[in-house]
Amino acid sequence: TAQSFEQHFQDKLDNEVSIEPRDWMPDDYRKTLIRQISQHAHSEIVGMLPEGNWITRAPSLRRKAVLLAKVQDEGGHGLYLYSAAETLGITRDEMLGQLHSGKAKYSSIFNYPTLTWADMGAVGWLVDGAAIMNQVPLCRTSYGPYARAMVRVCKEESFHQRQGFEIMMRLAEGSETQKKMAQDALNRWWWPSIMMFGPKDDDSAHSAQSMAWRIKRFSNDELRQKFIDVTVEQAKLIGLTIPDPDLKWNEEKGHYDFGAINWDEFWNVVKGNGPCNKERLAARQNAWNNGAWVRDAALAYSEKRKERAEK
Ligand code: ACO
């Protein structure tokens, strides 16, 4: 009966047994996962663009090789995630259709421009740093295919974070101009990075249910606080200043207090009006259209093979 299916599902959650594609699951659990995993996949793919912008201009062959590998990793993450979402009964074409029509969300952070080489440092350090903070707990998310995809993704993200921090460290110990460039990148990326964790808990529509389903293991505000606490120390280590005059260690709480987040800016970017939303979407639409011949050729080839096999 429906009730016993539901009980079985709940028992699995309570016992930390993962839910697998063929298991019964509530419709809304399935929908929430499709929403979150597909948004996550789109973020990885759109996230290739701001850094792709610097591959041809990396300052050395070594930097170029590292950046190229990093951007390719993001493409790979998108593919695992689209595959994980497909196990829930949506096709990749449907997901991409939602992205290209502008209906699907992807992370707000990728709608900001990458203006200087130091932005490659700031993006790796802060954006990938924030991404890991959110994704390490997702290795224990209740849906098996999503959790397993996250294990490898997190290993790669941790390399990305370190390569970004290393770029910042080198710039920060370089010439006056290099140090300024690093500080300027930190100034521009800090607030958007802490917005990445999503709205504050009181305004987070999905958090309570997603926590109950053990899709999310920590709330948006908890993860944001953890990120701030570790990142402030890292900034100190390389002599850069976090652009928040209200940032202050709170002895009693054992956490940093921080200034007010500009939520109008966040929602504005989420709604499609950030500095690069149109450019990002257009780049993905063009990539899709320019790749049509590859899809057509692959399809024609597979049909030809099928015909031959049938003869
Ligand atoms: N950018 C764009 N939209 C966002 C963001 C953000 N940074 N944060 C929240 N939102 C959206 C949510 O998608 C939701 O919109 P929807 O109902 O249309 O789907 C709405 O704002 C309300 O937010 P929440 O109720 O807090 O949503 P949710 O419970 O899904 O939490 C979160 C948001 C934390 C991003 C969650 O979806 C998550 O952990 N996702 C997986 C990680 C991820 O996607 N990372 C992407 C960036 S990292 C990278 O790609 C390198």
Residue 220 CB neighbour total at 10 angstroms = 20
Residue 135 — pLDDT band, cuts 50, 70, 90? very high
Residue 54 in contact with residue 120, Cβ under 8 Å?
Answer: yes
pLDDT at 233 over 90: yes
- CA pair distance 74, 43, nearest whole angstrom: 9
Which pair of structure tokens corresponds to residue 130? 């924030």
> Which of 270, 271, 273 is the best mutation target for the ligand 1 pocket, counting ligand atoms within 8 Å of the beta carbon and taking the most?
270
Is 111 a pocket residue for ligand 1 (Cβ < 6 Å)? no
Report the percent of the chain where pLDDT is more than 70. 100
The chain-wide mean pLDDT, for the chain, equals 97
CA of 13 to the centre of ligand 1 (A): 22
Is 142 a pocket residue for ligand 1 (Cβ < 6 Å)? no
CA of 262 to the centre of ligand 1 (A): 17
- Give this complex's ipTM: 0.98
Is 198 a pocket residue for ligand 1 (Cβ < 6 Å)? yes
Name the residue with the closest Cα to ligand 1, atom 31: 198
Strands (DSSP E) found in 24-180: none
CA of 36 to the centre of ligand 1 (A): 7
For the chain, what percentages of helix, strand and coil (3-state, to nearest 5) are there?
70, 5, 25
Name the residue with the closest Cα to ligand 1, atom 42: 40
Residue 247 — pLDDT band, cuts 50, 70, 90? very high
Report the percent of the chain where pLDDT is more than 90. 98
CA of 1 to the centre of ligand 1 (A): 34
Name the residue with the closest Cα to ligand 1, atom 10: 198
296 burial level (CB within 10 Å; 0-12, 13-18, 19+): exposed
Rg of the Cα atoms in the chain: 21
- CA pair distance 108, 268, nearest whole angstrom: 9
